[in-house]
Amino acid sequence: MIPKDPVMLLSYVNTQLRDFYSSLDALCEDKGIEKEELVEKMKSIEYVYEVDRNQFV
């Protein structure tokens, strides 16, 4: 289950990206997550995805 709380979601997504996925696109496709919704939710807590780091910072 994917957390709904943005801060918990941040932790979950960054852990998934670090441990299992080479890109945000791969994570979203595999988990059935709408990428734009995820990006907007992370922006709401002032985090953006950095491709080079493969994480939200």
For the cut 90, the answer to whether the pLDDT of residue 1 exceeds it is: no
For residue 31, being part of any structural domain is answered with yes
Q: Range of 18's domain?
A: 6-52
Helix (H) or strand (E) holding 35: helix 35-43
Distances (CA, A) of 35 to 42, 50: 11, 14
Q: pLDDT for 10-47, tens place per residue?
A: 999 999 999 999 999 999 999 999 999 999 999 999 99
Residue owning tokens 């918990």: 8
The count of domains in the chain is 1
For residue 1, being part of any structural domain is answered with no
Could you give the CA distance from residue 37 to residue 42 in angstroms, rounded to a whole number?
9
3-state DSSP assignment of residue 50:
strand
Could you give the CA distance from residue 30 to residue 55 in angstroms, rounded to a whole number?
16
pLDDT score at 55 = 98
pLDDT score at 37 = 97
For residue 46, being part of any structural domain is answered with yes
Q: Which two tokens stand for residue 50?
A: 């950095």
Mean pLDDT of the chain: 97
For residue 57, being part of any structural domain is answered with no
